[in-house]
Amino acid sequence: MPLVTTKEMFEKAYNGGYAIGAFNVNNMEIVQGITEAAKDLNAPLILQVSKGARAYANHTYLMKLVEAAIEETGLPICLHLDHGDSFELCKSCIDGGFTSVMIDKSGLPLEENIAITRQVVEYAHDHGVVVEAELGTLAGIEDEVNVSAEDSSYTRPEDVQEFVEKTGCDSLAIAIGTSHGAYKFKPGTKPQLRFDILEDVAARLPGFPIVLHGSSSVPQEFVKIINENGGNMPGAIGVPEDQLRQAASMAVCKINIDSDLRLAMTATIRQYFNEHPDHFDPRQYLKPAREAIKQMVAHKITDVLGCDGKA
């Protein structure tokens, strides 16, 4: 099976009340951990590559790793550019075989966001590729961009219809209280997503797939392992998984998860080195790290996204 777009995946997810996991990939072990879990659970999958991942691992290596995963699993897999910041970057990924791109100009005024998104959509659709766009600004860190909580803003539901009509985008990322990274909420506060905004957006865009970024839950068992094994991550807090499950049952068809995979991998490796200070063969510590990613993704597919058995 070749790489697929998100078109059919999202239609089924919208109607079925579940979401597809979009997991960030940076190297072979991450690709293997994610795709082995999805294969065991027969789940459709979005593998996404950020600008930073592409700079780290190289477009061709990532492409070939994902092609290998398709050959090994036989699953419908979409390869997506995460947070494309320019037409040129989106074009390069489209020309290089990605089946989906995100153009993220959510930090610009509405009219400018519309103009650049429209340009990407025209090129992408001419090449059979789908486009995710964003309205509203999430707090947190992604690549070189660090948006403070004060500069973040919820999506304005009154903008979404005009945006989707004028751009022709295929899915829309909205800001309802999630944020990037491992420090999403102030310690002591109760995390609460703005389901009222999601409902309002969904009512204005019937049947249209909505995307949630910044949706790691930051499992405290991994933060504890990191902190007990030489790390220092006090106050790392994520989005409660029951709220993500609720979003998945609504109009949200794609849920982005990266930080939780990083935590699983890092916690496992830190613990491994503490227990085996004399080991230095990378296969020895990357094997359990890959297994930890697999377990994390299996948990997300089954207990959060609800897309097991849907491939």
Element holding 118 (H helix, E strand): helix 110-126
We find the least distance from the C-beta atom of residue 48 to Zn ion, in angstroms, to be 9
Q: How far apart are CA 132 and CA 120, in angstroms?
A: 10
Report the site for ligand 13P in 136-175 (rule: CB under 6 A).
Answer: none
* From candidates 54, 80, 184, 213, binder to Zn ion by CB under 5 A: 213
What CA–CA distance (Å, rounded) separates 300 from 137?
Answer: 25
Length reported for the chain: 311
Give 83 or 310: the residue with its C-beta nearer to Zn ion: 83
Residue 290's binding partner among ligand 13P, ligand G3H, Zn ion, none (Cβ under 5 to 8 angstroms by kind) is none
Q: Per rule CB under 6 A, is residue 26 in the interface with ligand 13P?
A: no
Q: Which two tokens stand for residue 125?
A: 């659709």
Cα 205 to Cα 10, 43, 106, 159, distances in angstroms: 14, 26, 19, 11
- Residue 162 half-sphere exposure, CB side, CA atoms within 13 Å? 10
Q: Which two tokens stand for residue 68?
A: 């290998």
Does the annotation count 82 as an active-site position? yes
The two structure tokens encoding residue 88: 């040129």
CB of 260 to ligand 13P, least distance (A): 6
With respect to Zn ion, which residue has the nearer C-beta, 225 or 237?
237
Kindly identify the residues of this chain, within the stretch 267-296, that bind ligand 13P according to CB under 6 A.
none
Distance (Å, whole) CA 99 – CA 81:
9
User: Which is closer to ligand G3H, CB of 29 or CB of 82?
Assistant: 82
CB of 302 to Zn ion, least distance (A): 23
Q: How far is the CB of 57 from ligand G3H (least distance, A)?
A: 10
33: its two tokens: 């951990």
Q: Which residue is nearest to Zn ion (CB)?
A: 213
Site for ligand G3H contains 215 (CB under 6 A) = no
User: 77 with 96: CB under 8 angstroms?
Assistant: no
Place of tokens 């930890």: 292
Selected binder of ligand 13P within 5, 24, 99, 167 (CB under 6 A): 24
Q: Which of 82, 104, 170, 260 is catalytic?
A: 82
Q: Shortest CA distance to 20 belongs to which of 189, 212, 181?
A: 212
What residues make contact with ligand 13P under the rule CB under 6 A?
A: 24, 82-83, 180-181, 213-216, 256-260
What residues make contact with ligand G3H under the rule CB under 6 A?
A: 24, 50, 52-53, 82-83, 142-143, 180, 258
Active site residues: 82
